[in-house]
A = this chain, B = another copy of it.
Amino acid sequence: MRGWRVGVPGEAHPALAAAAVAALDAYTAATAEHDRATLAAVVADGADGTPTMRIDVLVEDAILGALARHPVNVLTEETGWVDHGSALTLVIDPVDGSANAAAGVPLAAFSAAVAEDGVFTEALTVWLDTGRSWWARAGEPSPLRTSGRTALSGAAVSLLRPHTADPGAGAAWWEVARRAARVRILSTSCLEGALVAQGATDAFADAATDTHRLVDIAASVVLAEAAGGAVRDVFGRAVELDTDLTRRWSGVVAATPELADELATVLREACQAGRDG
């Protein structure tokens, strides 16, 4: 339907494909076998210091098991950096949208990018509830095409949920909601990034809350750029490979560079105005 693939594409790097297949299998088994409370239970602190749910651990463990045969480095949500001395690094979010996944809201994704000598070259996002996938390799023709929209006025924008207790971030969120034609909160950054690459929505943004880790936006960089879009950080920081998972961004994924720049500017200025009261 509409050019969406189901399953893992044959052109994907073997390590990327192996990780995705392991994630799909583990996710399907975990959600069939465990109830919501079990899946949502906090069982560890992740590599970035934030709490980890059991669903995250179950899927990540399956991925790392599948990758044992592949000589690549891995940077992943819970375990962090696993260095195998390779020129290739997989940047993986085993379960993007963990809260959705644990609760039974069917919007969760496996998402990973391949970095070659520090440059993102390939990405795959798989909607774990349906098997639909989005794949691209930098510099190669892709069937993905963004909407091409260049202005926030009239745009359909996905946002992370508002941080109502932060006057700056709260004002930034509201300003985008005020200017956009449509606002959605799907609570799954990687799937929302894929929908921008697919042309189904015009943009996705973290409204200046510095919530995004690299694993939340790395795949969207490759997918969006292959489809004619662009990724920015609200505060102008480069979205680049870094093994320090405590780094944060306020990512903006948009249909065009113009829209990405406008969204980043609107969010940054509204955030500053909100902080200044």
CB distance from A87 to the nearest CB of B (A): 36
Residues in B whose Cβ lies below 8 Å from that of A183: 161-162, 185
- Whether the Cβ atoms of B156 and A103 lie closer than 8 Å is yes
- Whether the Cβ atoms of A201 and B1 lie closer than 8 Å is no
- The docked-state distance in angstroms from the alpha carbon of A12 to that of B130 is 25
Q: Which of A183-200 contact B (CB under 8 A)?
A: 183-187, 195, 198-200
- Whether the Cβ atoms of A201 and B31 lie closer than 8 Å is no
- Whether the Cβ atoms of B28 and A182 lie closer than 8 Å is no
| Residue from B104, B105, B174, B184 in contact with A185 in the complex, judged by beta carbons closer than 8 Å | B184
Q: Which of A97-128 contact B (CB under 8 A)?
A: 99, 103-106
The 8 A CB mask of A158-170 against B (1 = contact, 0 = none) is 0001101100000
- Whether the Cβ atoms of A195 and B105 lie closer than 8 Å is yes
- The docked-state distance in angstroms from the alpha carbon of A198 to that of B105 is 9
- Whether the Cβ atoms of B161 and A201 lie closer than 8 Å is no
Q: How many residues of A contact B (CB 8 A)?
A: 33
Q: Which residue of B lies closest to A102 (CB)?
A: B200
- The docked-state distance in angstroms from the alpha carbon of A132 to that of B36 is 19
With A2-B31, A162-B174 known, 14 other A-B pairs at CB within 8 A are: A1-B32, A2-B104, A99-B156, A103-B200, A104-B199, A129-B130, A130-B130, A161-B177, A162-B183, A165-B178, A184-B186, A184-B187, A185-B185, A186-B186
> What are 21 of the A-B contact pairs (CB < 8 Å)?
A1-B28, A2-B31, A2-B32, A2-B104, A105-B184, A105-B195, A105-B200, A106-B132, A106-B200, A129-B130, A130-B130, A161-B177, A162-B177, A164-B174, A164-B178, A165-B178, A174-B174, A182-B187, A183-B185, A184-B186, A184-B187
Interface, chain A (partner B; CB < 8 A): 1-2, 28, 31-32, 36, 99, 103-106, 129-130, 132, 156, 161-162, 164-165, 174, 177-178, 182-187, 195, 198-201
